[in-house]
């Protein structure tokens, strides 16, 4: 029986492991954290249906229970080498693995908003990120300013760390726009008296029902969308924020006082992905993600034989895209191992 090591127990990793196990392979799923689900484990509700993220996590846990694969939590690959055509993976716990194939499903990293100093994250009290907001929503915390007051005017800032040459990220993170729409609707339900503004470069509603949710945000929730790039933010004496932007439709500068500013941070290549690239000697694209062997017809293949790719280690994806991509990766691994025995 062939052995496959899947690195990362996020959405893509669990799906790939489940599918490969179903194909009859011995699968070892390696996860550095004590929990499964990756970034999904920290999310509250999902776009565009606003279904609880816990439903997807429960589905993943069921696949682990039903599958015949092994999962190693709190385990990290620390050394990678190759001998006699086989990959040798060593973990920090002293475990040595010699799989017939490897699937990298290391996920993505989140842009550090502190790198955009002009937006004031970690400098001004009432500047938070979309991830911070989701954490508050998940915990059921009240949305308040740091002085305890209820925010009356809220601004979402799109494309923080995406499509930004200064940050070194030229790519679109694909899910930020719809995340902002979803969170704006949630805040409207929690704070019906608040004015909510979204400052965007241009709105990219990639998926099914995304455009409909955007229209619903305007028509039913009175979320206001302003096409403008934020240039800077400063703090007023009462801890509210003065934001400066350019309305790119009118070509005029714009100033606005807001009580709370939410930065929609994008995806980028995570530290785990970067380290695995070094270990497996894989190519990275200009944004730092793992470069597939062929972007059109071999998206799940890396530049190294026997090493396959699944999910957001290659580019930003939605949860549904990640699951589909992981299933495709599992098929490619299965065919690779089957053909290997025919040589």
pLDDT in tens, 22-76: 999 999 999 999 999 999 999 999 999 999 999 999 999 999 988 889 999 999 9
Contact 117, 22 (CB under 8 A): no
pLDDT at 226: 94
pLDDT at 182: 98
Contact 309, 280 (CB under 8 A): no
pLDDT at 335: 97
Q: 51-84: buried (b, 16+ CB within 10 Å) or exposed (e) per residue?
A: eebbebbeebeebbeebebebbeebebeebeeee
pLDDT at 340: 81
User: How do beta strands 45-46 and 51-52 pair?
Assistant: antiparallel
Angstrom distance (rounded) from CA 212 to CA 215: 5
Residue 86 DSSP one-character state: E
CA angle 68, 69, 70 (to 5 degrees): 130
Average pLDDT, the chain: 95
Angstrom distance (rounded) from CA 118 to CA 343: 59
342 has a pLDDT exceeding 80: no
Instruction: Provide CATH code, domain 3-108+269-342.
Output: 3.50.50.60
Q: Tokens 């893509």 belong to which residue?
A: 12
Least confident range from 161-170, 258-267, 306-315: namely 161-170
Angstrom distance (rounded) from CA 138 to CA 37: 15
249 has a pLDDT exceeding 90: no
pLDDT in tens, 172-224: 999 999 999 999 999 999 999 999 999 999 899 989 999 999 999 999 999 99
pLDDT at 153: 98
Two tokens at 111? 């842009």
3-108+269-342 and 113-266 have identical folds: yes
Contact 129, 265 (CB under 8 A): yes
Closest CA to 299 of 280, 320, 287, 313: 313
Average pLDDT estimate for 284-308: 96
**Where do the structural domains in the chain lie, given as residue ranges?**
3-108+269-342, 113-266
pLDDT at 242: 97
Strands (E), 201-248: 224-235, 241-247
Angstrom distance (rounded) from CA 286 to CA 289: 8
Two tokens at 252? 């005029």
User: How do beta strands 260-265 and 153-160 pair?
Assistant: parallel
Half-sphere exposure of residue 34, counting CA atoms within 13 Å on the CB side? 0
Considering the chain, what percentage of its residues have pLDDT values greater than 70? 100
pLDDT at 343: 64
Angstrom distance (rounded) from CA 326 to CA 299: 11
Two tokens at 10? 């996020």
Considering the chain, what percentage of its residues have pLDDT values greater than 90? 89
pLDDT at 268: 96
- Would you state the CATH architecture of domain 113-266? 3-Layer(bba) Sandwich (3.50)
Angstrom distance (rounded) from CA 3 to CA 103: 11
Angstrom distance (rounded) from CA 20 to CA 95: 22
pLDDT at 92: 93
């Amino acid at each position: 029986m062939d052995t496959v090591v899947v690195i990362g127990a996020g959405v893509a990793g669990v799906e790939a492991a489940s599918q490969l196990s179903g194909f009859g392979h011995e699968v070892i799923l390696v996860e550095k954290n004590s929990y499964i689900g990756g970034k999904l484990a920290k999310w509250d509700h999902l776009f565009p249906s606003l279904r609880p993220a816990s439903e997807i996590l429960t589905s993943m846990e069921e696949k682990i229970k039903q599958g015949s694969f092994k999962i190693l939590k709190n385990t990290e690959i620390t050394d990678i080498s190759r001998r006699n055509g086989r990959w040798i993976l060593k973990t920090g716990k002293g475990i040595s693995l010699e799989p017939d194939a490897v699937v990298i499903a290391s996920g993505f990293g989140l842009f550090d908003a502190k790198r955009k100093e002009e937006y004031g994250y970690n400098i001004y009290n009432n500047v938070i990120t979309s991830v911070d907001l989701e954490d508050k929503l998940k915990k059921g915390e009240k949305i308040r300013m740091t002085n305890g007051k209820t925010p009356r005017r809220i601004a979402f800032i799109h494309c923080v760390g995406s499509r930004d040459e200064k940050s070194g990220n030229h790519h679109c993170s694909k899910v930020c726009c719809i995340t902002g729409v979803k969170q704006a609707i949630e805040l409207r339900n929690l704070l019906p008296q608040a004015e909510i503004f979204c400052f965007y470069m241009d709105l990219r509603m990639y998926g099914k029902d995304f455009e409909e949710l955007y229209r619903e945000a305007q028509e039913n929730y009175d979320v206001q969308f302003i096409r403008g790039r934020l240039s800077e933010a400063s703090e007023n004496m009462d801890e509210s924020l003065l934001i400066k932007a350019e309305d790119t439709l009118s070509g005029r500068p714009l100033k606005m006082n807001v009580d709370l500013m939410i930065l929609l941070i994008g995806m980028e290549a995570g530290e785990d992905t970067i380290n695995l690239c070094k270990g497996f000697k894989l190519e990275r694209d200009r944004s730092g993600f793992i470069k597939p062997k062929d972007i059109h017809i071999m998206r799940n293949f890396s530049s190294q034989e026997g090493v396959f790719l699944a999910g957001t280690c290659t580019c930003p994806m939605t949860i549904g895209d990640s699951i589909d991509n992981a299933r495709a990766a599992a098929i490619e691994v299965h065919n690779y191992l089957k053909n290997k025995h025919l040589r």
